[in-house]
Amino acid sequence: MNIENNSEYVSPYIPNTNLDRQKMLEIIGVKRIDDLFKDIPSDYLNPNLNLAEPMSEFELKKYIDAICSMNIVPGEYSSFLGAGSYQHHIPSIVNQLSTRSEYMTSYTPYQPEVSQGTLQTEYEFQSLCCLLTNMEVANAGMYDGSTALAEAALMSARINKKNKIAILDTVSPTYIEILKTYTQYQGISIYIVNENEINLEEDTTCLIVQNPNFYGNIDDMKQFAKIAHQNEALLISYTDAMSLGMFIPPGDYDADIAVSEGQTMGVPTSFGGPYVGIFTCKKKYIRQMPGRIVGKTIDTKGNTAYVLTLQTREQHIRRENATSNICTSVALIALMSTIYMASLGKKGIKHIAELCYQKAHYASELIKKIPGYSLLSDNIFFREFTIICPRSPKEINKILLKEKIIGGLDISNKIKNGMLLSFTEVNSKEDIDNLIKTLSKIK
Q: How many residues bind other proteins (CB under 8 A)?
A: 199
Taking the least distance from each CB to other proteins, the nearer of 162 and 292 is 292
Q: What is the residue type of 392?
A: S
Q: Which residue, 303, 325, 298, 329, is CA-closest to 314?
A: 325
Q: Which of 244, 258, 278, 439 is in the footprint of other proteins by CB under 8 A?
A: 244
In angstroms, the CA 178 to CA 189 distance is: 13
In angstroms, the CA 295 to CA 137 distance is: 11
Q: Which residue, 369, 340, 364, is CA-closest to 132?
A: 340
Which 64-83 residues touch other proteins, going by CB under 8 A?
A: 64-75, 79, 81, 83
Q: How far is the CB of 397 from other proteins (least distance, A)?
A: 7
Taking the least distance from each CB to other proteins, the nearer of 199 and 346 is 346
In angstroms, the CA 435 to CA 407 distance is: 8
Taking the least distance from each CB to other proteins, the nearer of 166 and 330 is 330
Taking the least distance from each CB to other proteins, the nearer of 180 and 416 is 180
Q: Which of 195, 229, 295, 403 is in the footprint of other proteins by CB under 8 A?
A: 295
Which 202-221 residues touch other proteins, going by CB under 8 A?
A: 218
Q: Report DSSP letters for 402-431, one per residue.
A: HTTEE--EE-TTTSTTEEEEE--TTS-HHH
CB 208 within 8 A of CB 236: yes
Q: How far is the CB of 210 from other proteins (least distance, A)?
A: 12
CB 141 within 8 A of CB 277: yes
Could you say whether residue 377 binds other proteins (CB under 8 A)?
no
Taking the least distance from each CB to other proteins, the nearer of 3 and 44 is 44
Taking the least distance from each CB to other proteins, the nearer of 200 and 396 is 396
Q: Which of 33, 369, 372, 416 is in the footprint of other proteins by CB under 8 A?
A: 33
Taking the least distance from each CB to other proteins, the nearer of 194 and 358 is 358
Q: How far is the CB of 188 from other proteins (least distance, A)?
A: 10
In angstroms, the CA 251 to CA 394 distance is: 39
Taking the least distance from each CB to other proteins, the nearer of 87 and 156 is 87
Q: Helices 429-441 and 331-367, interaxial angle, to 10°? A: 50
CB 180 within 8 A of CB 153: no
CB 360 within 8 A of CB 288: no
In angstroms, the CA 408 to CA 386 distance is: 9
Taking the least distance from each CB to other proteins, the nearer of 233 and 410 is 410
Could you say whether residue 354 binds other proteins (CB under 8 A)?
yes
Q: How far is the CB of 373 from other proteins (least distance, A)?
A: 18
Q: How far is the CB of 149 from other proteins (least distance, A)?
A: 9
Q: Which of 2, 5, 18, 187 is in the footprint of other proteins by CB under 8 A?
A: 187
Q: How far is the CB of 199 from other proteins (least distance, A)?
A: 26
Q: Which of 2, 6, 185, 196 is in the footprint of other proteins by CB under 8 A?
A: 185
Which 307-346 residues touch other proteins, going by CB under 8 A?
A: 307, 309-312, 314-322, 324-333, 335, 339, 341-346
Cis peptide before 212 (omega within 30 of 0): yes
In angstroms, the CA 278 to CA 267 distance is: 13
Taking the least distance from each CB to other proteins, the nearer of 200 and 275 is 275
CB 102 within 8 A of CB 96: no
Cis peptide before 12 (omega within 30 of 0): no
Q: How far is the CB of 309 from other proteins (least distance, A)?
A: 4
Q: Which of 62, 181, 369, 391 is in the footprint of other proteins by CB under 8 A?
A: 181
Could you say whether residue 192 binds other proteins (CB under 8 A)?
no
Which 97-156 residues touch other proteins, going by CB under 8 A?
A: 97, 99-109, 111-118, 120-124, 126-128, 130-132, 137-138, 140, 143-147
What is the distance in angstroms between the CA of the first residue and the CA of the last residue of the chain? 59
Q: How far is the CB of 289 from other proteins (least distance, A)?
A: 10
Q: Which residue, 140, 118, 117, is CA-closest to 129?
A: 140
Which 380-439 residues touch other proteins, going by CB under 8 A?
A: 380, 397, 401, 406, 409, 425, 428-429, 432
Exposure class string for 206-243: b at 16+ Cβ within 10 A, else e: bbbbbbbbbbbbbbebeebbebbeebebbbbbbbbbbb
